[in-house]
Structure 1
Amino acid sequence: MPTKDRYHHGDLREELLRASVRLIETEGLTAVSLRRVAREAGVSPGAPYHHFTDRAALLAAISARGFEQLGARMISVREGASGPREALIAMTVAYVEFARDSPAYFRLMFRPELYEPDKHPATATAGDAAYAVLEQAVADATGSGGLPSEEADTLALALWSLAHGLASLTLDGKLELRSAQMGTTAVELSDRVTRLFTDLIDSRWPRSE
């Protein structure tokens, strides 16, 4: 039903984003073009240009939305954790779960051409904000004496690397295959790997008195 009145002002942008994600999930990234997305949304071919200058701008907006959702999920599990250490574990597992639940977003979020601050500042800002959630959780852990404060930046990067590696293995099907061989689930294996990593940190740097 291609009509300019199909969406209220402002709703069209959201529908274009949703249509793009559906295309990525069903047909892959190469299927996304402004003309194709307009057809999927049921609007005129020129309608997307009111919101996005080109295909890259559309994809960058999807990437930014993905970082916003990831950041919100990590904040939620951090606030629900019993302590700073448990928060780090829960956030790592949540990162992996996000990749599994939202593969279209996750695969797009880390494309380097969409993360250039000069070209796509909103995406870079959303990505930095999501990472800041992890940095704050590490700061909480170091402030409680559970982790070494002088290594906070390195620990944040190490946890991100761990979470991203597990997430990538999940999307590639490798983690599920390995977990089945080990008689567990991918989610449980992610939790175990993260706890092992945290235990290693504790053994290397004892808690302060």
Structure 2
Amino acid sequence: MKRTSYHHGDLRATLMDACLRLIESEGLAAVSLRRVAREAGVSSGAPYHHFADRAALLSALSIDGFQQLAAYLTAARASTTDPLQALTELGVAYVQFSREHPAQFRLMFRPELSQPDKHPDAHAAGDAAFDVLVETVAECVAVGALPADRAETLAVAWWALGHGLASLWLDGYLEKRSEQMGTHAPELVDAITRTFTALITPDASAG
């Protein structure tokens, strides 16, 4: 449903919402400033008050997505005082974000569309979200739960796990596999993240 009115200060948010709706319904290829304006119910020139071109709009959505993801991860990290448990919660939160913001999640990892080299703020937002994971791994190292010499590798591995689970769920494969296993996707995500946490601890590695 198109928005036919908006407060002047809400135009930017209106256009971003319209762009996400368009991505969800027709895919990224359908996005142009003119088409987004039509979806938002505003004049064709309205988007240029906030976005120089299509790439600028997509970059803004990417930045917003990473900022929201960082908030999800920060809240998950704060939900427990156990660093290893926090690591598990981060994985679950990452997947949860992708489920609640599927169009934005897919966009955030399409640099050829948002052109992050031309929009360094997008890089900074992505790094800030990743830093929540890095800091949580560092806390695990500090209490002796993870080996210091593998901290950077484990941070990337954990990101890869969360992103893989999120992508598999969005594409429908995780739910299909869950049914075959007699469980449900949320339970499988939780079990996988907990299993991975157990496997990367020094005691498990030694065994």
TM-score normalised by the chain length of structure 1: 0.92
Deviates more, 1:10-19 or 1:117-126: 117-126
Kindly report which structure 2 residues correspond to 1:10-29, keeping only aligned pairs within 5 A, or say none.
Answer: 10-29=9-28
**CA shift at 1:187, angstroms?**
1.1
Aligned counterparts of 1:104 and 1:123: Cα–Cα separation in 2: 17
**1:139-158 → structure 2 map (5 Å cutoff):** 139-158=138-157
Matched, 1:163 2:133: no
The residue type equivalent to 2:171 in the other structure is: D
Judge conservation of contact 2:23–2:31 (CA < 8 Å) in 1. Answer: yes
SS at match of 1:10: helix
Cα deviations by residue, 1:89-122 (Å, 9 ceiling, x for unpaired): 0110111111111110111000122565530111
Instruction: Spell out the pairing of 1:1-209 with structure 2 (5 A cutoff).
Output: 6-114=5-113, 116-202=115-201, 203-204=204-205
CA contact (8 A) 2:62 2:122 kept: yes
The percent identity for this pair of structures is: 60
Distance 1:61 1:79, change over 3 A: same
Q: What code does the residue aligned with 1:12 have? A: L
Report the count of equivalent residues.
Answer: 204
CA offset digits 1:169-197 (Å, max 9, x no partner): 11111111111111111111111111111
Residues 138 and 151 in structure 2, CA contact (< 8 A), matched pair in contact too: yes
TM-score by length of 2: 0.93
| Structure 1 residue 8: Cα displacement | 3.2
Query: What is the CA–CA distance in structure 1 between the aligned matches of 2:165 and 2:40, rounded to whole Å?
Result: 34
Instruction: Tell me if the contact between 2:141 and 2:151 (Cα under 8 Å) persists in the aligned partners.
Output: yes
Q: Is the 8 A contact 2:56 2:114 kept in 1?
A: no
SS at match of 1:71: helix
Runs of 4+ in 1 over 4 A off after TM superposition: 114-117
Query: Is the contact made by 1:147 and 1:205 (CA closer than 8 Å) also made in structure 2?
Result: no
State how far apart, in whole Å, the 2-side matches of 1:19 and 1:11 are: 12
Structure 2 segments unaligned to the other structure (5+ residues): none
Question: Helix, strand or coil: the match of 2:78?
Answer: helix
SS across alignment from 1:80: coil
Q: Distance in 2 between matches of 1:104 and 1:126?
A: 17
